[in-house]
């Protein structure tokens, strides 16, 4: 009986691998027509059915049991009759090839499942089942069909088949259908979310883009692509400024970007006048912010460029003719004010006062800049001017009026204003105020989007811990550091005891909840800066402990084991009655003769294996220096 469970579990693993490969390939080839994608799913499920038959349970001469029925039903209810037909043909063809006494019942079962699965597809409105109740219903149907088709066997073999493989066949066909359904539903939602985020970025106004450390475009919106002679945003990916601009211009842009990434200081509203080949001269305002990952490492930059030509032309017109300026002031959407050499307002438009509602009463013709600053401070209008600012500081702030500058002003009501002041030859001052709240929010949203994308690449979606790739990167980095400094480096591998039995009894969703609780307990037990807690795979977790010797590693491992046990999560199939973990620990020291960090993980895995053999719910330690394994229960 145990062999049947093992073989069918291996079946399920092979099917899961093939379906996983298909989902990733389908995302890569998203541009294919729906019919070809449907055919691709059918071929994938067909290959999964063939793999299942190759790994089948041999019941009698020419009679085999596997998971092909669940696979064919999944192809129908999650891909439609077209995909199911391809899967059924491939499965039937391979069953004919295998031959034997079970061919006729096997082909009959394939046809029956194809018809029922296709009927369920039409009953669901000709669309894939996507919610949990419908997926579980399909899984229950698969389990029922798997036991029902046993009646196709001769009467003498029917009861023996039910006794020997009935329960495993029902459970594993149910699990296979549920696993395929939930995985495909999750991947469809994940793909939709990524497509929405990508569309939001690429179709945003102005010129938005993200670059990596090598100044290559990672994401760019449609405006950037068309400005550079490309029809699609995707054509910008991987290009640098050397591919788009003359060498001198490209070097100038890269030098500015390198300075942003080197210093970590954002380039804020950098304005420049550009004369480009075959294009009219334009003014642009560019802001670029450095992007860092969750560890604080620089990973690139995000930029937004705004065409401000119209605004610059307006400023030039204002300076050239006071009458034209007065007319423009009444029509423009920005605030405009002119100060005389004595610091008094000569004139200002209504918009200028509207942008500063708390100090609008002080912003009138004849008012002195010092009185305006006092009113602003007294009413707490600007975040950068505290309400308790002393008189000396107020006088100093007023004197900055006569300095050419571009600054961004954060207001207490959450708005952001761009203030540009220009001093004329006769000491008059022109102040132009723009509400840039939307642009600022766009900049912050773009930065948040880039950080989220980075987080998705390094974080396990279920537990919120670091993922395997992030752990491997940290292990390589800390291993090299440990070799150079001579400091110890410890690794813990933590495995949830009898987790498959937990999933079989309680289901995959409670299993996910269990993994989240275990992950939270592990993260709580490892709080030092520099430690890395990761989901290593399935129900296995890993902890990287820099500058930690063996005794301390064992203490931390015991703390984790105890805290998980104290969760008292019910586990009726465990010898302890609750969810427990086994922990394998090892430590790298200068005495250890290993040159590859993977060996460190292998030794921790060996210690974990010993913990499992010792009855689980314990800690085992493996010392690298003398290849000595130490028990610590």
Is residue 419 one of the residues assigned to a domain? yes
Indicate if the pLDDT at residue 1 is higher than 80: no
CA–CA gap between residue 20 and residue 51 (Å, rounded): 14
pLDDT at 453: 59
Is residue 441 one of the residues assigned to a domain? no
Q: How many domains does the chain have?
A: 4
Residue 512: domain span: 459-632
Residues 234 and 300 in one domain: yes
| Alpha-carbon distances of 263 from 161, 260, 299, 450, rounded to whole Å | 71, 6, 13, 19
Residues 186 and 250 in one domain: no
What CATH number should be reported for the domain holding residue 187? 1.10.1760
Indicate if the pLDDT at residue 449 is higher than 80: no
pLDDT at 119: 85
pLDDT at 76: 83
Is residue 611 one of the residues assigned to a domain? yes
- Which is the catalytic residue, given 73, 315, 443, 539? 539
For residue 537, how far is the Cα from the chain centroid? Answer: 17
Q: Which of 155, 180, 198 is the last residue of a domain?
A: 198
Residues 513 and 542 in one domain: yes
State mean pLDDT over 353-372.
89
Residue 112: its H or E element? helix 103-123
State mean pLDDT over 307-335.
74
Is residue 90 one of the residues assigned to a domain? yes
pLDDT at 630: 44
pTM of the model: 0.39
SS3 content of the chain, % helix, strand, coil (to 5): 55, 20, 25
Residues 178 and 45 in one domain: yes
Out of 98-112, 311-325, 579-593, least confident range: 311-325
Q: Which of 177, 198, 219 is the last residue of a domain?
A: 198
Is residue 315 one of the residues assigned to a domain? no
**How do residues 577-632 score in pLDDT, each as one tens digit?**
999 999 999 999 877 777 788 899 999 999 999 999 999 999 999 876 544 444 44
Residues 286 and 359 in one domain: no
pLDDT classification of 165: cutoffs 50, 70, 90? confident
Nearest to 351 by CA among 363, 336, 368: 336
Is residue 444 one of the residues assigned to a domain? no
Indicate if the pLDDT at residue 99 is higher than 80: yes
Residues 492 and 538 in one domain: yes
Residues 91 and 212 in one domain: no
pLDDT classification of 323: cutoffs 50, 70, 90? low
Residues 488 and 571 in one domain: yes
Mean pLDDT, all residues of the chain: 84
Nearest to 337 by CA among 351, 317, 320: 351
Residues 384 and 480 in one domain: no
Structure tokens at 217: 């475009």
Q: Which of 140, 172, 198 is the last residue of a domain?
A: 198
Is residue 51 one of the residues assigned to a domain? yes
Residues 470 and 578 in one domain: yes
Answer yes or no: are the C-beta atoms of 105 and 161 closer than 8 Å. Answer: no
Helix (H, G, I), strand (E, B) or coil at 589: coil
- Fill in the DSSP letter of residue 618: S
Per-residue b/e over 91-117, b at no fewer than 16 CB within 10 Å? bbebbeeeeeebbebbbebbebbbebb
Residues 508 and 535 in one domain: yes
Nearest to 488 by CA among 438, 551, 534: 551
Residues 367 and 429 in one domain: yes
CA angle in degrees (0–180, nearest 5) for 391-394-395:
90
**How do residues 215-267 score in pLDDT, each as one tens digit?**
999 888 888 888 888 888 888 899 999 998 888 888 899 999 999 998 989 98
The dihedral through the CA atoms of 268, 271, 275, 279 has a sign that is positive
Is residue 553 one of the residues assigned to a domain? yes
276 an active-site residue?
A: no
pLDDT classification of 451: cutoffs 50, 70, 90? low
Structure tokens at 577: 């009655």
pLDDT at 211: 92
What CATH number should be reported for the domain holding residue 266? 3.30.450.20
């Amino acid at each position: 009986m145990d062999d049947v469970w093992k073989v069918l579990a291996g079946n399920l693993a092979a099917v899961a691998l093939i379906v996983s490969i298909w989902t990733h390939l389908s995302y890569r080839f998203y541009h294919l027509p729906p019919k070809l994608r449907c055919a691709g799913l059918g071929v994938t499920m067909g290959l999964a059915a063939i793999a299942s038959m190759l790994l089948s349970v041999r019941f009698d001469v020419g009679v085999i049991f596997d998971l092909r029925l669940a696979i064919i039903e999944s192809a129908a209810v999650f891909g439609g009759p077209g995909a199911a037909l391809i899967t059924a043909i491939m499965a039937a063809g391979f069953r004919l090839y295998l031959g034997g006494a079970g061919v006729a019942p096997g082909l009959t079962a394939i046809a029956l499942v194809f018809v029922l699965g296709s009927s369920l597809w039409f009953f669901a409105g000709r669309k894939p089942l996507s919610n949990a109740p419908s997926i579980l219903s399909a899984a229950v149907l698969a389990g029922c069909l798997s036991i029902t088709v046993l009646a196709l066997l001769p009467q003498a073999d029917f009861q023996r088949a039910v006794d020997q493989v009935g329960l495993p066949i029902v459970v594993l066909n149910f699990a296979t259908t549920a696993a395929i359904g939930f995985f495909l539903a999750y991947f469809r939602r994940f793909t939709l979310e990524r497509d929405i985020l990508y569309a939001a970025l690429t179709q945003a106004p102005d010129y938005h883009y993200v670059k990596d450390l090598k100044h290559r475009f990672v994401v760019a919106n449609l405006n950037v692509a068309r400005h550079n002679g490309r029809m699609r945003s995707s054509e910008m990916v991987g290009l640098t400024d050397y591919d788009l601009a003359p060498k001198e211009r490209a070097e100038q842009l890269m030098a500015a970007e390198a300075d942003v990434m080197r210093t970590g200081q954002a380039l804020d509203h950098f304005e420049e006048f550009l004369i480009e080949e075959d294009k009219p001269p334009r003014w642009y305002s560019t802001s670029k912010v450095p992007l860092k990952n969750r560890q604080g490492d620089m990973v690139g930059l995000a930029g937004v460029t705004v065409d401000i030509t119209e605004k610059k032309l307006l400023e030039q017109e204002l300076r050239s003719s006071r009458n034209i300026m007065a007319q423009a002031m009444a029509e423009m959407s920005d605030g405009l004010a002119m100060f005389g050499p004595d610091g008094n307002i000569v004139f200002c438009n209504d918009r200028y006062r509207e942008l500063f509602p708390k100090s609008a009463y002080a912003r009138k013709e004849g008012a002195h800049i010092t009185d305006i600053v006092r009113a602003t401070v007294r009413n707490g209008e600007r975040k950068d001017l505290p309400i308790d600012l002393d008189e000396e500081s107020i006088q100093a702030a007023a004197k900055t009026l006569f300095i050419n500058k571009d600054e961004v002003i954060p207001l207490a009501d959450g708005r952001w204003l761009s203030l540009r002041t220009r001093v004329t030859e006769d000491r008059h001052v022109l102040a132009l105020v723009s509400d840039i709240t939307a642009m600022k929010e766009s900049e912050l949203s773009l930065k948040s989007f880039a950080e989220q994308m980075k987080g998705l690449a390094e974080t396990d979606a279920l537990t919120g811990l670091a993922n395997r790739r992030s752990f491997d990167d940290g292990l390589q980095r800390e291993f090299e550091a440990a070799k150079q400094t001579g400091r110890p480096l410890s690794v813990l591998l933590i495995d949830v005891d009898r987790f498959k039995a937990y999933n079989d009894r309680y289901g995959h969703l409670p299993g996910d909840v269990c993994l989240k609780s275990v992950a939270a307990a592990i993260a709580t037990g490892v709080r030092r800066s520099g430690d890395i807690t990761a989901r290593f795979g399935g129900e296995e977790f890993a902890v990287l402990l820099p500058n930690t010797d063996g005794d301390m590693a064992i203490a931390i491992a015991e703390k984790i084991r105890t805290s998980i046990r104290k969760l008292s999560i019910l586990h009726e199939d465990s010898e302890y009655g609750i969810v427990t973990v086994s922990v394998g620990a090892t430590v790298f020291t200068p005495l250890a003769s290993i040159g590859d960090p993977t060996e460190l993980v292998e030794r921790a895995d060996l210690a974990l294996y010993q913990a499992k053999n010792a009855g689980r719910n314990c800690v085992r330690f493996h010392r690298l220096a003398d290849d000595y394994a130490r028990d610590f229960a």
